[in-house]
Amino acid sequence: MNAIDADPLRPRVLITGASRGIGLAAAQVLAAHGWDVTGVARSAPACFPGTFIEADLLDANSLAELAGQIAGGPPLAGLVSNFGMARHEALIDAGWDDFAALMAANVRPALALAQAALPGMRAARHGRIVHVTSMVTRGNPWRTGYAAAKAALES
């Protein structure tokens, strides 16, 4: 994992799940608007508009290390929790262990990183935390655990 670099003249944002899709698009837009962007995912994309940290957010040690870097660094102006994990499962087939694993995978990183960022945001008297969820929270017969986890983030 790399240290989080900071440009003191630009607002800082950390985006999880930033190697592709919504996370990468958010990074590109924020960077284009002058933000100092740090992205996080298991592997870096070919091109990223800022600092990139390769970290497995499902690994407790990697998550704790990243949270420590956030808590010990300059305050973030924004945190975008975009990381997510889904499985193809119907309610009738959802076992408790798999359900609990999806809840932990989708909620634990968002909670840990928000808790790490919040003291700096409070001290700066500014900051935003965005948890990216999904329309599946409104119902999808094949995303039981994922929908429950994303609904937890919405609440």
Q: What band does 5 get if pLDDT is binned at 50, 70 and 90?
A: low
Residues of the chain with pLDDT > 90: what percent?
A: 85
The answer to whether the Cα torsion of 133, 137, 143, 145 is positive or negative is positive
Q: How far apart are CA 78 and CA 153, in angstroms?
A: 16
- Residue 146 known to be catalytic: yes
Q: Of 35, 48, 52, 146, which residue is the catalytic one? A: 146
- For 16, the 3-state DSSP assignment is strand
The answer to whether the Cα torsion of 21, 26, 29, 35 is positive or negative is negative
Residue in the block written with tokens 């900051």:
127
Q: Which residue has the higher pLDDT, 101 or 5?
A: 101
Phi, psi of 137 (to 5 degrees): -65, -15
pTM, 2 dp:
0.91
